[in-house]
Amino acid sequence: MAPAAAAITAWLILGRAWRLVLWWCGLFIGGMTLVVATKIAFIGWGLGIRSIDFTGFSGHVMRATSVAPVLIYLVLQKTPRFVRFLGVLSGLAFGVIIAVSRLEVHAHSLSETITGWILGAAVSVSFVWILANHRKVDLHSWFIALSLLALLATPYIEPTPTQRWITNASLNLSGHTRPYIRATWKMAPMSWRPANIDEVDP
């Protein structure tokens, strides 16, 4: 979803919609900042909501729900309003599918996927509302086509080690040598090592 968010930014820049670029970057980066902040708070200091098993917003769900509706809306911006509305709904539904997938692989709790979806929906719906009240962006169909083709290759690209970066940042900021983990809601034991720190959430 990060490359898709970058593609949206590129479309807006090419369309010279500078104010929309600022709105989109502000909303998306703001949402991602909240995701990272909650993860750092838990990994570094053990701050979360134990009663609902919340250790931080689901980044996967937040990104999917914030990007997909906007991407679809921009592609369909010249279609009737009802078609655009259905497109936004399908983007939000895509976020639900990602949320369910994160639950199925036990990567996040129910509270983390729901709040991740709500945060992502707040970003996308807010930006779509701004788009709906703005003149249509002069998008270049050839650039959109090339971008969408490029996005098809992203699943095969080596993922960035974001979880490792967040864990390292959390330990550096807190001064701790071991992260907090969900299993016991305490610091990980000295012998604790995830099978793959880039894939294992707290």
pTM of the model: 0.84
What is the mean predicted confidence (pLDDT) over 43-72? Answer: 93
Predicted pLDDT at 138:
78
Contacts of 61 (CB under 8 A, 6+ apart): 95, 98, 99, 102, 108, 112, 113, 116, 117, 120
Residue 80 identity (one-letter amino acid): P
DSSP state string for 134-182: SPPP---HHHHHHHHHHHTTGGGSPPP-HHHHHHHHHHHHH--SS-EET
The neighbour count for residue 11, using CB atoms within 10 Å, is: 24
Work out the percent of the chain whose per-residue pLDDT is above 90. Answer: 50
How much of the chain is in helix, strand and coil states, percent to nearest 5?
65, 5, 30
Mapped onto helix, strand or coil, the DSSP state of residue 109 is coil
Res. 58: pLDDT tops 80: yes
CA-closest candidate to residue 22, choices 116, 120, 118, 134: 134
The neighbour count for residue 96, using CB atoms within 10 Å, is: 16
Q: 44 near 173, Cβ under 8 Å?
A: yes
What is the mean predicted confidence (pLDDT) over 54-61? Answer: 93
Res. 198: pLDDT tops 50: no
Q: Among the listed ranges 12-21, 38-47, 52-61, 141-150, which one has the minimum average pLDDT value?
A: 141-150
End-to-end Cα distance, the chain: 21
Cα–Cα distance for residue pair 137/152, rounded to 1 Å? 24
pLDDT digits (tens, 9 = 90+) for 79-137: 899 999 999 999 999 999 999 999 998 888 999 999 999 999 999 999 999 999 887 77
